[in-house]
């Protein structure tokens, strides 16, 4: 337990420092309200969720800390994400410094609310699915989850993270950054198509689940 706690804390602090550097260095100042608002919304709930998982579901926390993909197709997706997110944050910082865009307050507030709601739904998905790993794999003893949000769409975690990540650049007040973050839905679709092949081949009952729940990300659209 102590080792897991240290691992989670180290990763949390590293992420906090990295995001801070990616935002405030390009901005050239710490007087970046959108940057502080974003960090508060992102890392506040993240800390709370991590503590809850450590106490209630340490095995799930360990799975969420594992990002080493085995699938070659998924490695490409991770690589694109590793490039896209830092670029998006840097552009947001530069946008603040040079004043490329100026978003109305209501846009920032709405985006902040969407981020918080998305985090709440993120936590709910984790509560519903104890096999929710960050890597694409079929785990020993894994069963198909078809209730709750999984009864609406087949990939509620991805659906929620799309809303979460697309709201981020708007909280930061940057339209150019938002355009960059549009890469995420594209790579998510690529990830889902590969993931479903893996699940169909290795997870008993997944083919039947696909027939029961038709939509992948959004009802009546896809």
Predicted local distance difference test score (pLDDT) of residue 89: 96
Q: Which residues of 79-92 are buried (b: 16+ CB within 10 A; e: fewer)?
A: ebbeebbeebbbbb
Predicted local distance difference test score (pLDDT) of residue 18: 94
**Which SS3 state, helix, strand or coil, does residue 9 take?**
helix
Q: Which two tokens stand for residue 171?
A: 């909280």
List the chain domain ranges.
2-212
Handedness of CA 47, 51, 57, 62 (dihedral sign): positive
Predicted local distance difference test score (pLDDT) of residue 78: 66
What DSSP state is assigned to residue 100?
-
What's the gap between Cα 11 and its chain centre? 15
Q: Please give the CATH number for the structural domain made up of 2-212.
A: 1.20.120.1630
**Is the whole-model pTM more than 0.85?**
no
Give the count of alpha carbons within 13 A of 3, CB side only: 2
CB 33 within 8 A of CB 103: no
Tokens 């785990």 sit on residue: 139
Predicted local distance difference test score (pLDDT) of residue 120: 87
- pLDDT tens per residue across all 222 residues of the chain: 677 778 878 888 999 999 999 999 999 999 999 999 999 999 988 888 778 777 777 776 676 666 555 555 556 666 666 778 899 999 999 999 999 998 999 999 999 999 999 988 888 887 777 666 555 555 555 677 778 888 889 888 889 999 999 999 999 999 999 999 998 888 888 888 888 888 888 778 888 888 888 899 888 888
């Amino acid at each position: 337990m102590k080792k897991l706690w240290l691992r989670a804390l180290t990763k949390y602090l590293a992420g906090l420092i990295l995001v801070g550097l990616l935002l405030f260095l390009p901005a050239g100042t710490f007087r970046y309200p959108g940057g502080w608002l974003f960090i508060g919304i992102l890392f506040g709930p993240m800390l709370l969720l991590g503590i809850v998982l450590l106490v209630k579901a340490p095995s799930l926390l360990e799975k969420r800390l594992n990002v080493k993909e085995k699938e070659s197709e998924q490695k490409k997706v991770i690589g694109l994400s590793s490039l896209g997110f830092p670029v998006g944050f840097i552009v947001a910082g530069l946008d603040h410094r040079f004043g490329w865009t100026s978003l109305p307050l209501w846009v920032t507030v709405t985006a902040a609310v969407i981020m918080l709601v998305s985090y709440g739904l993120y936590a709910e998905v984790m509560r519903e699915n104890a096999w929710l790993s960050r890597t694409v794999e079929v785990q020993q003893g894994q069963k198909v989850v078809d209730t709750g949000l999984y009864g609406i769409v087949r990939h509620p975690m991805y659906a929620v993270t799309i809303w979460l990540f697309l709201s981020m650049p708007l909280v930061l007040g940057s339209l150019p950054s938002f355009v960059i973050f549009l890469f995420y839905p594209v790579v998510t679709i690529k990830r889902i198509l590969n993931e479903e092949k893996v699940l169909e081949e290795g997870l008993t009952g997944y083919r039947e689940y696909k027939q029961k729940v038709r939509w992948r990300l959004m009802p009546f659209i896809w």
